[in-house]
Amino acid sequence: MKITLLTIGKSAFPFVKEGLAMYEKRIARYTTYERIEIPALSGTSSLSSTEVKEKEGELILKKIKPSDEVILLDERGRSYSSIEWAHFLEKRLNNSTKSIVFVIGGAYGFSEKVYQAATSKLSLSDMTFSHQIIRLFFTEQLYRAFTIIKGEPYHNE
Amino acid sequence: MKITLLTIGKSAFPFVKEGLAMYEKRIARYTTYERIEIPALSGTSSLSSTEVKEKEGELILKKIKPSDEVILLDERGRSYSSIEWAHFLEKRLNNSTKSIVFVIGGAYGFSEKVYQAATSKLSLSDMTFSHQIIRLFFTEQLYRAFTIIKGEPYHNE
């Protein structure tokens, strides 16, 4: 299993980058993991919000292969407990040809085409978190899932 | 309104400290805010998990005044959307004598006495997050709530 985290927008805050680096180093012990950051179009152009969403959607779709399982991080997605989430990943873990791409959208969300290309939607919280913070939450939960799957202690330090 | 975040365990990771400092600086523009970190007892003593929970509970209760509204961050608590959460705070905002204490427990959770002293329970996610990470989530949501209440833009940079 290979896991990719695809984000619209670069990781802006130093603390987010540091946190991501820490959890990604831990995740690398368990699976092949890659983060791809697509620069955001919002704020950089004279496009409308719909146009930004469409164009960012095209950039997302370019990075996705037809065989990929595509999971959007979306407020309207399904909520999991950490244990359910670990089971979700565990089912896919022994399939070495499987690639899962998790996608964090831009400021205006996903285009209809991206929704159509997606296999499912995952919600980390009922609350809305910034696109910066959510990537940190996601990688922490990915690390946590592997400690649950492998029955290993979660390192809080 | 004064808001206190009471945590068991110090903020261990540099990235957590940096993130907290950033959001707390923003929160200070809106309200009186304080974070009190009580050193954790787990791992430092030969106490059982129940004993740790009891003793940490006593340390928590020492910091709470009878007039405080005490809200535990607890997986079994109520979930809010960011908008509902902002409304929750807004109702309390104009009461200058009001003090709210949010509490993040230790590795073994809260003692019965702490549950009894609490006014309510708040859940940020169905997922379990580390005690380190959850304080970062909380302060981000506190900052976000104030931007919603005041109708101000959320600064992603």
Chain A nearest CA to B100, separation (Å) = 20
Going residue by residue through chain A, which has 157 residues, state the pLDDT in tens, using 9 for 90 and above. 899 999 998 888 999 999 999 999 999 999 999 999 999 887 667 888 899 999 999 999 999 999 999 999 998 999 999 999 999 999 988 776 789 999 999 888 999 999 999 999 999 999 988 888 999 999 999 999 999 999 998 877 5
Query: Quick check: B156 and A107 CB within 8 A?
Result: yes
User: According to the model, what pLDDT value does residue A44 have?
Assistant: 67
Query: Which of A81, A137, A154 shows the shortest C-beta gap to B126?
Result: A81
Q: Which residue of B has its CA nearest to A21?
A: B15
Of B118 and A153, more confident? B118
Rounded to a whole number of angstroms, the distance from the CA of A52 to the nearest CA of chain B is 17
Q: Which domains does chain B have, with CATH numbers?
A: 2-149 (3.40.1280.10)
User: Given A126, A140, A144, which is nearest B81 (Cβ)?
Assistant: A126
The average confidence (pLDDT) of chain B is: 91
Region B38-63: mean pLDDT is: 88
pLDDT confidence of residue A11: 85
ipTM surpassing 0.95, yes or no? no
Q: Are B122 and B69 in contact (CB under 8 A)?
A: no
pLDDT the model gives residue B71: 97
Nearest CB to A80; choose among B107, B126, B156 = B126
Question: What is the model's pTM?
Answer: 0.91
CB contact under 8 A, B136 and A136: yes
Q: How do residues B74-115 score in pLDDT, each as one tens digit?
A: 988 999 999 999 999 999 887 767 899 999 998 889 999 999
pLDDT digits (tens, 9 = 90+) for B14-37: 999 999 999 999 999 999 999 999
Query: Which residues in chain B are contacts of A26 at CB distance < 8 A?
Result: none
What confidence score (pLDDT) does residue B157 get?
58
